[in-house]
A and B are shown apart, each in its own frame.
Chain A
Amino acid sequence: MAMPSSLLWAVDIFGRVYTLATTGQYWELCKDGQLEFKRVSAVKQCCWGIACDHQVYTYVFSSDVPIRYQEETYENQRWNPVGGFCEKLMPSDRWQWSDVSGLKHQQLDSFTLPSPHWEWESDWYVDENIGGEPTEKGGWTYAIDFPATYTKDKKWNSCVRRRRWIRYRRYKSRDTWAKIISLEDPSQLPDPFNDISIGGWEITDEPAGRLSVWAVSLQGRVWYREDVCHHNPEGSLWSLVATPGEVVQISCGPYDLLWATLWEGQAIVREGIDRNNPHGISWTVVESPGSENGIMHVAVGVNVVWAVTKDRKVWFRRGVNSHNPCGTSWIEMVGEMMMVNVGLNDQVWGIACDDRAIYFRQGVTPSELSGKTWKAIVSGRESDRSQTGSSTSLLSAGCFFSDEVRDQANSIIQSDGDISSDTESPRVPPNHADAPLSGAAISSNENNADSQKEVGAHLAVDSLDSAQEEANSTSSSSEKAGLEKPESSVDQDTHPAELQWTNIDLKEAHKNPVLTSSTFRETSSVSSLGLFPVGIEEPYGTDEHPFWAWVSGGGCLVDLHSPLKWFTIQTGLSSSVQSLSLSITPAQTAAWRKQIFQQLSERTKRELENFRHYEQAVEQSVWVKTGTLQWWRSWKPHKWMDVRVALEQFTGSDGVRDSILFIYYMHHEEKKYIHVFLNEVTILVEVLNDSKHSFALYTPERTKQRWPIRLAAATEQEMHDWLALLSMSCCESRRIQGPPSHHAVWSVTCKGDIFVSEPSPELEAAPHLIPCDQMFWRQIGGHLRLIECNSQGIVWGIGYDHTTWVYTGGYGGGFIQGLASSADNIYMQSDVKCVYIYENQRWNPVTGYSSRGLPTDRYMWSDASGLQECTKVNTKPPSPQWSWVSDWYIDFNVSGGTDREGWQYAADFPASYHGHKTMKDFVRRRRWVSPFPESSNEDAPTARTEEGMDQLQSFAFYGGVPNLFFVLIHLATIKRETGK
């Protein structure tokens, strides 16, 4: 097979092997389609796989270079006075037929083909060339004795002579799966194989085409196939490589990287692989990213390692290079995958959990090996020509000259629908003539047009039905996009008989994974399929899109310069426009069209060329900042999504600078965005927690919905940059600058952040009262528990550590620093806040008070309410800005009093507690306290005085979105008191 481009290999859940060319658009069924496979591992010249019989096979591409091997043996003769040179040798001599050294007896007929995959090119013949020169008669070379220097000339003292016989054998099983037959003693043979990975071709050039073939057997042992190279594509034998544990899966990179996973969930890394020792020397264990979820799968390239843990999360190993094959740490990536595979140039593919589609990692470059996003490969499967005859041409015709063909196919469907007497058939969607709305419809139409079988009819109606379901949930725009989506034709040889009774299952199954182009969803029911689905009877019969089980990109060279056609659903505008043009495509080359193009370019030339120096009437706005953030998706299932974010600023005709924040996200492969006019934003708040540097953005509408836009940045610095910029832009569009005015309304959030709002004259002026949810709040640095102000601009506050503070008139501070801050009057502020947790015990007759409660009791370590479990260990500072001041200690200063050990007693939880034990008391608790200060790097325009405080905020306030209403109610109080 000629290789015009390189191939991506994949196995679907039925074990069928497909390839997708980098220049192609369709998955092609592997030429030798008889076998079903569970794993494949490909490189450029071949692919190794484990078939469902647990045997290893290799698929070697044909090429112009034949795979041939020269067998040779020597015929040796000695001169004797009677018969001259003859085959009678002296007893001390070598055999009459031997190898070149004479040490091995090699008769012509002792040579056999190593496997059925070889054939002899010809019979044995004498090699008459020695050292490139033809010898005299018969190819004999002469010497005084064995072993000695042979010459081609017979001399007076030539007592022995020999000649070389050669015979070529040729590897014939190319472009087909060749079973690897082991010649070893069967008792030594590995148990059935479970995983295979090939690579290592970069380790050494010698011999040509050398490959490292690693396999894992069902018992968890690792095997290395010896001597795999160009002229020995099958290798010679399996040798066992000892491992520290039972191995599940293995991955071999093009160079010296080799990782494997253990049953226990760790990964092991082979060290010491080099040209002299392709087996490597030792294993090093690498722990999984989290203790609860072990590593299930690894994939390695030249300098990268990717892993999938048992919870299907995808991880990228940081710091992997040839000096440090183990890398340094794990980074969690977006997406949930069944498996991932690394190919040439460290490009990455994965099979997603929820839709079983193959995703290609986009943006993987030498400088950014972890890439940017997963993009679904939506290429359809080219129909199996031998089975469906002309369906391929129909398919392509349907794609590009759709109308008539579709109509035709459609009419067939309807008639078939009648025959099938399926109760669903009247529900054929009214608009199904434009069936391209889903791949399912195309494929089934086409299938039907071909098959004319009643079985096919069932199938068609059925998948149409599910297509309709899909259509209902898809926006009308994507119906059009579907036009250009070449989809798989249905392989009719798969389970046609089952369809009649799996109809309902089919529909159920389709609901979820029907969208081939879907972006990630949370783990769905599909993931229950488990890792090794091959061979399991799946209800997915003839599906709309292939469900994949395995992918291998080891032979797939993605050229970054020539775009792939695998993602045929275009995104955004271009798709719609292309689909528009597709709607009348037969006229692509019509004269009228050419004329329009030509005239338009002439017009542009005429009207613009000499006038480019003229000012544009409409000022183009400026992109102030773009970047990548994560966005808390506003529909279910809620989750963080990678988004592109851009702040666009423009100057309106009235001179006011306004900004729009765009958030671009992918939804079902379609690029979409939401946008916020910053002059509508009412407040920006940091939402700090352990895992994300996030902030929330409210508008009046979003306050009503209680659903702010939540964005998260990779680093705290990045988040602060965005917050500062957005906050500045908000102020700018509201023409607010400098310090808060004397009339400003001050507030603190439940977290202690300080916000001010500039009252507009209408604030309290009837009839245009501004509802409080429309007031704009900007943050002033600092951290306080209480704040009070008057109309002279005097502002005082109390910190959580009872310190009183006075406002100095500075502004900015905190993350605003450097952008729009006042030059002076900004000082360091620190605050200390106490966290209380309770230790609860119940009395029992045997041990007295113990930490063993009743099943109905509260947690033995809890908050004051008892509802929340709060242990010393799991209670953490609310944000990275906080750190513990001291360790936990018992608090004796509790209302109601305590005993000497700090205990308070009560009849039951929850009740009133007292500081001494009575007969009626069955439970007791004591309070532990640990203060933590706000990190001192927060600058705030406050100065300090002294005071006291009482009770604390509940710790639970901290996790999620800050409670704006708390702020607003609090604010109302202040407003009354300030009395402008």
Chain B
Amino acid sequence: MTDDKDVLRDVWFGRIPTCFTLYQDEITEREADPYYLLLPRISYLTLVTDKVKKHFQKVMRQEDVSEIWFEYEGSPLKWHYPIGLLFDLHASNTALPWNITVHFKNFPEKDLLHCHSKDVIEAHFMACIKEADALKHKSQVINEMQKKDHKQLWMGLQNDKFEQFWAINRKLMEYIPEDSGFRYIPFRIYQATTERPFIQKLFRPVAPGGQLHTLGDLLKEVCPTAITPEDDEKTIQVMIHGIEPMLETPIQWLSEHMSYPDNFLHISIIPRPTD
């Protein structure tokens, strides 16, 4: 029988095959070949695309290069969302590889945050972890950690080191057994169909009566539109890491096993494809 730790590995080693193409209007000295890459689902676009950048810069003049950004079918891709989330939200149920367009001009200031260096990503990542721990443990665990532990979390992500990351992250996943779970579940629900960036509310993993809350309970409470009434045909998919967990799945278990490295459960709600 499969072990829960395999879930952690599967989540960590999730890869999305991606084809990067330079935007047609970018000025190049010669034609740029597309660039193919396996992107880690749990990482960030700007963290893993140095090679892409280098590849396209080779065919461009220095003065035409400014900050790189990515777009999929007209939507600028937010680098500060994990790659897996971006894919689930925008490109689930499409043919692979994922076709991403690379831009060096006309940075969409209103849609994207600037990312001038890896430090910005690190700061964002650490901020998420801290927020998550504030929800889970009133920040007690993250505050007890040393600076080097924080660094190790980041280095683990950056260098794709599962063991290195989890050696520290496991502490963030602990809780007092008598509580049966975290204080609140750090989650964010994204909807492809709305303008609102995401839903985030306080939600406890255990009902006052002691029974475990499920994914369904969460959706019912914070995003009722995602729940299809029993009889209706399902028009909506609830995706985490490219899969649709059953609504009966305990939310605490999901939080422990299927959170992104930033310790948040990033849940995408997308329309079910009509064949």
Hey, which chain B residues are within 8 Å of A597, CB to CB? Answer: 2, 6-7
- Are A581's CB and B96's CB within 8 A? no
- CA separation between A583 and B180, bound complex, in Å? 8
A431-B178, A433-B177 known; A615 vs B37 contact (CB < 8 Å): yes
A331, CB-defined interface residue at 8 Å: no
- Are A596's CB and B7's CB within 8 A? yes
A604-B10, A621-B159 known; A581 vs B177 contact (CB < 8 Å): no
B198, CB-defined interface residue at 8 Å: no
A501, CB-defined interface residue at 8 Å: no
Q: Which of A402, A476, A620, A673 counts the most chain B CB atoms within 10 A?
A: A476
- CA separation between A742 and B97, bound complex, in Å? 55
A924 to chain B, nearest CB (A): 59
Q: Within the complex, which residue of B10, B14, B246, B253 is in contact with A591, where a contact is CB–CB below 8 Å?
A: B246
B68, CB-defined interface residue at 8 Å: no
Over the window 216-244 of chain A, the binary record of Cβ atoms lying under 8 Å from chain B Cβ atoms (1 yes, 0 no) is 00000000000000000000000000000
Hey, which chain B residues are within 8 Å of A584, CB to CB? Answer: 212, 250, 252-253
- Are B159's CB and A403's CB within 8 A? no
A811 to chain B, nearest CB (A): 32
B266, CB-defined interface residue at 8 Å: no
Give residues 409-458 of A contacting B (CB, 8 Å): 431, 433-434, 436
- Are A607's CB and B246's CB within 8 A? no
A137, CB-defined interface residue at 8 Å: no
- Are B166's CB and A601's CB within 8 A? no
- Are B245's CB and A653's CB within 8 A? no
A610, CB-defined interface residue at 8 Å: yes
Q: Within the complex, which residue of B51, B173, B244, B258 is in contact with A617, where a contact is CB–CB below 8 Å?
A: B51
Q: Within the complex, which residue of B13, B118, B244, B256 is in contact with A580, where a contact is CB–CB below 8 Å?
A: B256
A61, CB-defined interface residue at 8 Å: no
Over the window 219-250 of chain B, the binary record of Cβ atoms lying under 8 Å from chain A Cβ atoms (1 yes, 0 no) is 00000000000000000000001111110111
- CA separation between A588 and B2, bound complex, in Å? 10
B200, CB-defined interface residue at 8 Å: no
Q: Which of B43, B174, B177, B212 counts the most chain A CB atoms within 10 A?
A: B177
Q: Within the complex, which residue of A402, A477, A599, A615 is in contact with B36, where a contact is CB–CB below 8 Å?
A: A615
Closest-by-CB residue of B relative to A407 is: B178
- Are B39's CB and A617's CB within 8 A? yes
A433-B178, A477-B174, A617-B38 known; A611 vs B242 contact (CB < 8 Å): no
- CA separation between A611 and B95, bound complex, in Å? 12
A616, CB-defined interface residue at 8 Å: yes
Hey, which chain B residues are within 8 Å of A653, CB to CB? Answer: 50, 118
A571 to chain B, nearest CB (A): 11
Hey, which chain B residues are within 8 Å of A615, CB to CB? Answer: 36-38, 51
- Are B37's CB and A617's CB within 8 A? yes
Q: Which of A477, A483, A600, A617 counts the most chain B CB atoms within 10 A?
A: A617
- CA separation between A431 and B118, bound complex, in Å? 41
- Are A581's CB and B3's CB within 8 A? yes
- CA separation between A599 and B11, bound complex, in Å? 11
- CA separation between A641 and B9, bound complex, in Å? 31
- Are B10's CB and A611's CB within 8 A? no
- CA separation between A317 and B96, bound complex, in Å? 63
Hey, which chain A residues are within 8 Å of B241, CB to CB? Answer: 600, 603
- Are B10's CB and A600's CB within 8 A? yes
- Are A603's CB and B17's CB within 8 A? no
Closest-by-CB residue of A relative to B166 is: A573
- CA separation between A804 and B166, bound complex, in Å? 56
B115 to chain A, nearest CB (A): 13
- CA separation between A546 and B257, bound complex, in Å? 36
- CA separation between A614 and B37, bound complex, in Å? 5
Q: Within the complex, which residue of B2, B5, B258 is in contact with A577, where a contact is CB–CB below 8 Å?
A: B5
B49, CB-defined interface residue at 8 Å: yes
Closest-by-CB residue of B relative to A600 is: B10
Hey, which chain B residues are within 8 Å of A431, CB to CB? Answer: 176, 178
Closest-by-CB residue of A relative to B253 is: A584
A972, CB-defined interface residue at 8 Å: no
A606, CB-defined interface residue at 8 Å: yes
Closest-by-CB residue of B relative to A590 is: B248
- Are B43's CB and A617's CB within 8 A? yes
- CA separation between A581 and B4, bound complex, in Å? 6
A565 to chain B, nearest CB (A): 16
B112, CB-defined interface residue at 8 Å: no
A477-B171, A603-B241 known; A618 vs B177 contact (CB < 8 Å): no
A480, CB-defined interface residue at 8 Å: yes
A944 to chain B, nearest CB (A): 48
- Are B14's CB and A596's CB within 8 A? no
B16, CB-defined interface residue at 8 Å: yes
B40, CB-defined interface residue at 8 Å: yes
- Are B48's CB and A617's CB within 8 A? yes
A592, CB-defined interface residue at 8 Å: yes
Hey, which chain A residues are within 8 Å of B49, CB to CB? Answer: 617
Closest-by-CB residue of B relative to A587 is: B250
Give residues 169-207 of B contacting A (CB, 8 Å): 170-171, 173-178, 180
Give residues 613-636 of A contacting B (CB, 8 Å): 614-618, 620-621
Q: Within the complex, which residue of A479, A572, A592, A604 is in contact with B14, where a contact is CB–CB below 8 Å?
A: A604
Hey, which chain A residues are within 8 Å of B118, CB to CB? Answer: 653
Hey, which chain B residues are within 8 Å of A592, CB to CB? Answer: 245-246, 248-250
A158, CB-defined interface residue at 8 Å: no
Give residues 92-132 of B contacting A (CB, 8 Å): 96-97, 118
A574, CB-defined interface residue at 8 Å: yes
- Are A603's CB and B14's CB within 8 A? yes
- CA separation between A205 and B265, bound complex, in Å? 67
A431-B178, A606-B96, A617-B43 known; A611 vs B171 contact (CB < 8 Å): no
A583-B177, A611-B96 known; A596 vs B160 contact (CB < 8 Å): no
Hey, which chain A residues are within 8 Å of B73, CB to CB? Answer: none
Over the window 143-180 of chain B, the binary record of Cβ atoms lying under 8 Å from chain A Cβ atoms (1 yes, 0 no) is 00000000000000011100100110011011111101
A691 to chain B, nearest CB (A): 32
A650, CB-defined interface residue at 8 Å: yes
A608, CB-defined interface residue at 8 Å: yes
Q: Within the complex, which residue of A583, A611, A621 is in contact with B17, where a contact is CB–CB below 8 Å?
A: A611
- CA separation between A436 and B176, bound complex, in Å? 11
A412 to chain B, nearest CB (A): 16
- CA separation between A587 and B118, bound complex, in Å? 41
Hey, which chain A residues are within 8 Å of B243, CB to CB? Answer: 596, 599-600, 602-603
Closest-by-CB residue of B relative to A577 is: B5
B210 to chain A, nearest CB (A): 9
Hey, which chain B residues are within 8 Å of A822, CB to CB? Answer: none
Closest-by-CB residue of A relative to B98 is: A607
B15, CB-defined interface residue at 8 Å: yes
- Are A616's CB and B38's CB within 8 A? yes
Binding site for B on A (CB under 8 A): 402-403, 406-407, 431, 433-434, 436, 476-477, 479-480, 483, 572-574, 576-578, 580-581, 583-584, 587-588, 590-593, 595-597, 599-604, 606-608, 610-611, 614-618, 620-621, 650, 653, 673
Across the A-B interface, give the 5 residue pairs with the lowest CB-CB distance, nearest first: A581-B4, A611-B17, A577-B5, A599-B243, A434-B177
- Cross-chain pairs A/B with CB under 8 angstroms, 27 sampled: A403-B177, A434-B177, A477-B171, A573-B5, A574-B5, A580-B170, A580-B173, A580-B256, A584-B250, A592-B249, A593-B249, A596-B245, A599-B243, A600-B241, A603-B10, A603-B14, A604-B13, A611-B36, A611-B38, A611-B97, A616-B38, A617-B37, A617-B40, A618-B43, A618-B159, A618-B160, A653-B50
Q: A573-B5, A607-B17, A673-B167 are in contact. List 10 more A-B contacts (CB 8 A).
A: A580-B257, A581-B3, A581-B4, A583-B175, A591-B246, A604-B14, A608-B15, A611-B96, A614-B97, A616-B15
